[in-house]
Amino acid sequence: MICRRLGDSFGTAEVLSFIGRDALRGGEFATARAGCEEALLIYRQLGVRVLIAWALLLIGGAARGLRDPRAAGAAYREGIQLCAEMSAPLWVAVALAGLGDMALGAAARAGSATTRRGGRAQGKCGRVPKDLEQRALRA
């Protein structure tokens, strides 16, 4: 990566996070998680809070796709806290939707009153849109 060779930490993190975002959209969850976790480390070093939050939400989505609820929950919870501190309600909503989607999936796997349709959990509150996270991040 040219940015890395030039010593451009911010540029490197941006490239990694965009690769991660695109991989997440394409269902390549392991690639998404790896890229976003590396970007997160750099964003933390640079202290760019808004991008730390963005990376955390992407990591949460990737971990959710990998069926790693502990990692997804941890990323979403940290993201919620940071987004709330920055007064970013849309991103708080994205993280809460991810946590809700995980809860619906867990309830469906546990054999609760939810049903499975098209690979997505469906409960009394209705279907959680699969692309909610991506739409909110583009807004």
SS3 per residue for 89-100: HHHHHHHHHHHH
Q: Are the C-beta atoms of residues 44 and 36 closer than 8 Å to each other?
A: no
Structure tokens that stand for 15 in this block: 């490239």
Classify 121 as helix, strand or coil: strand
Q: Which CATH architecture has domain 2-138?
A: Alpha Horseshoe (1.25)
Classify 126 as helix, strand or coil: strand
The packing angle between helices 89-109 and 69-85, to 10°, is: 160
Give pLDDT, residue 130. Answer: 53
Scanning the structure block, which residue is given the tokens 């619906």? Answer: 104
Give pLDDT, residue 106. Answer: 74
Give pLDDT, residue 100. Answer: 86
- pTM here is 0.75
pLDDT along the chain (139 residues), means of 10: 83 94 96 97 95 95 93 94 92 89 77 51 45 50
Give pLDDT, residue 7. Answer: 84
